Amino acid sequence: MSWVYFKATLAGSFAMDKWVKTTLGAIADFKNGKGLKNTFYCRDGDYLVWGANGVIARTNEILNEVSIVVVGRVGAYCGSVHAAFGPNWVTDNAIAATPKNGNDFRFLYYLMKSLQIDRSAIGSAQPLVTQSGLKVLPCCCPPLPEQRAIAHILGSLDDKIVLNRRINETLEAMARAIFKSWFVDFDPVRAKAEGRDTGLPKEIADLFPDSFEDLELGEIPKEWEVRSLDEIAEYLNGLACQKYPPEDDDSLPVIKIRELRQGITENTDRATSNVPSQYIVRDGDILFSWSGSLLVKIWCNGKGVLNQHVFKVSSSQFPKWFYYFWTIKHLEEFQRIAADKATTMGHIKRHHLTDAKVLVPPGNLLSAMNRCLTPFIEKQIINDIEVRTLTQTRDTLLPKLISGEFRVSYDEKFLEGNN
């Protein structure tokens, strides 16, 4: 990670010289977004379309030629703040902010992140952030070099977070493609049956069969077994955590479906840590919500207590990637089953796990596959844990740097080369 040379000190150790007390309207211009016709949305568009809660689509149309700060204007995401880099389009449920008078764009973004803009919203049934409300928000603004230093420190953390997430997307896509090739399309088996090169190292290719056999499921590689999903892994349902209230300071976050989507937040419930050990969730565990929003996730948000309606998936016999990708393989069908339950909250039942079939190759081939696929999963877990640490560091530093509680020393020549 590239860091600006800086020394953080408490503001009390020297005066807040050259910081100006001002309002947001003095350092930024604002304009409302604009609705975009449905015909202008396109999956492969060159530019991102931003709404109140982030990117919602792509388009080839441009509303803003420059990078902007996107502020959620109305509704549930009123006051949310995002940085949109490069040309873009912002819809009419958001406001676009750009720095003026030479102020730094990325500093403006972090400043607005720290201002709790949602508190400026008017209305209760349908909260609304307005340009006039934004303009009068009080803030402090340091000189441009210090703005750049602050933005560089926080931006370096954010850049690394984004990089890790992109790497993980690539790792996941590669691992899924290999799994599909081996367990769904049977590419190596077909290649050997047709006398073609498998494209695999010889020590792995030799372990694949060169023919198929017909079973009830259809054509499968010779000598591979058919088993049920709940035979290759244990699907442990969580606790009714309201029965395990937190005890003094000894508590853990409760991992519900919401936490699978959002991570641990200030709204996450707590439960005592004094629960049977099998219900404790740790980094790297596979979680599968079987009710409501059905999704499968590798958990990397720290220790927690498993709530009901969420399975912790584990196996003493098979590797993590194996039951992870087989669960994902059946997820679309599970979601269809849940969607058909019109009178109750959509969910699956235990017998659906039994009905879901998997293919198990011979042990020597599975071991060779494991050597190939396990590193993908392990690297994803390492990257996600690092993202959590970086996020916590950024969120701790942001208010202290933006308020001037921590000041930074900086090399202006270095900053000029990095902005």
Q: First-to-last CA distance in the chain? A: 16
Please, what is the Cα angle at 31 between 419 and 143, to 5 degrees?
35
pLDDT at 175 over 50: yes
Q: What is the pLDDT of residues 335-354, one digit of tens each?
A: 999 988 655 678 999 999 99
Please give the pLDDT value at position 411.
62
Please report the DSSP string for 103-166 in residue order: --HHHHHHHHHHT-GGGG-B-SSS-B--HHHHHT-EEEE--HHHHHHHHHHHHHHHHHHHHHHH
DSSP bridge partners of 281: 304
Alpha helices in 276-410 (DSSP H): 320-339, 350-355, 363-403
Q: How confident is the model at residue 360 (pLDDT cuts 50, 70, 90)?
A: very high
- How far apart are alpha carbons 367 and 359 in whole angstroms? 15
Mean pLDDT of the chain: 91
Most distant CA pair in the chain, distance: 81
Residue 8 per-residue DSSP state: -
> Which of 119-133, 207-221, 370-384 is predicted least confidently?
119-133
| Cα 114 from Cα 92, distance rounded (Å) | 23
Cβ 198 vs Cβ 274: under 8 Å: no
Secondary structure (3-state) at 411: coil
User: CA distances (Å), 247 to each of 256, 270, 272, in order?
Assistant: 20, 10, 6
Whole-angstrom distance, CA of residue 49 vs CA of residue 63: 9
Whole-angstrom CA distances from 409 to 9, 19, 152, 207 are 9, 14, 12, 60
Residue 112 vs residues 45, 284, 369, 396: alpha-carbon distances, Å = 28, 34, 48, 16
Alpha carbon distances (Å) from 280 to 92, 306, 400: 44, 6, 34
Tens of pLDDT, residue by residue over 50-76, are 999 999 999 999 999 999 999 999 888
For the cut 80, the answer to whether the pLDDT of residue 262 exceeds it is yes
Per-residue pLDDT at 11 exceeds 80? no
**Alpha carbon distance 311, 307 (integer Å):** 8
pTM summary value:
0.88
Burial class (CB in 10 A: 0-12, 13-18, 19+), 314: middle
Query: Among the listed ranges 99-108, 237-246, 410-419, which one has the minimum average pLDDT value?
Result: 410-419
Rounded to an integer, the average pLDDT of 182-189 is 97
* H or E stretch covering 96: strand 94-99
